[in-house]
Amino acid sequence: MSTETSTELTLVRHGRTIWHAENRYTGVSDVPLDEVGRAQAVALAEWASRRHFDVLVCSPVPRAVATAAPVAATTGLRPEVLADLREVDFGIAEGRTLAELRETYPDAAAAFVADPVANPFPGAEPPAAAAARAVVALRDVADRYRGRSVLVIAHNTLLRLALCQWLGIPLSRYRAVLPRLENAAATRLRVPADTGAPPALLALNVPTSPAVTADEPAPTAGRTA
């Protein structure tokens, strides 16, 4: 990385919660880390301590803040909490699995699966709006910390939408192209100073410890956002 022209962002999904273990839409709901999620946060902190991060940024949603806490304690970095890195609000889907939604809201579930961007769940934040705010927030972080290395702790759907938007992948394909970011796994971007240029994808969904893969990925047919 050229420290004069680019910034490296390492994007990490927060640790696991019981809703994530059950493959429930969690969104902006306040669901705490479970035992596995807490272990993932501690392991992430140990991983981060062996690398050089200049800045720690996180979502304001409590599970992201809780994931950032051990990292802050280990590295001495004070987390910068950014509201625009919060997870997508899933509206009627919050707290439900896709299978449950197919039973209770079959039309809405079918429309979402066909095109999640054109047909978000009723009451949900439009995915295009979430992608836009996330990219603006990440671009701002890259600009403010030009030439430095930043660890960003946020969320599965928000980060996938942001990656698609920033890398030029159709948003409507985000569930197919990026089925899932593992809890506490790392995705690295090199962001150039040129605001019109996309970032370089250096690594995607890399486990930071064995704890990251303590639960198996959900089957495609039943996965959520």
CA distance 91 to 122: 6
Residue type at position 69: A
Cα-flanking dihedrals φ and ψ of residue 81, to 5°? -90, 125
Catalytic, 87? Answer yes
Please write down the HEC assignment for all residues of the chain: CCCCCEEEEEEEECCCEHHHHCCCECCCCCCCECHHHHHHHHHHHHHHHCCCCCEEEECCCHHHHHHHHHHHHHHCCCCEECHHHCCCCCHHHECCCHHHHHHHCHHHHHHHHHCCCCCCCCCCCCHHHHHHHHHHHHHHHHHHCCCCEEEEEECHHHHHHHHHHHHCCCHHHHHHHCCCCCCCEEEEEEEECCCCCCCEEEEEEEECCHHHHCCCCCCHHHCCC
How many CB atoms are closer than 10 A to CB 6?
A: 21
Q: Which of 8, 14, 20, 182 is catalytic?
A: 14
Catalytic position from the list 87, 94, 125, 182: 87
CB-based contact 64:14 (threshold 8 Å): yes
Based on the residue annotation, tell me whether 14 is a catalytic residue of this protein.
Answer: yes
Catalytic residues: 14, 87
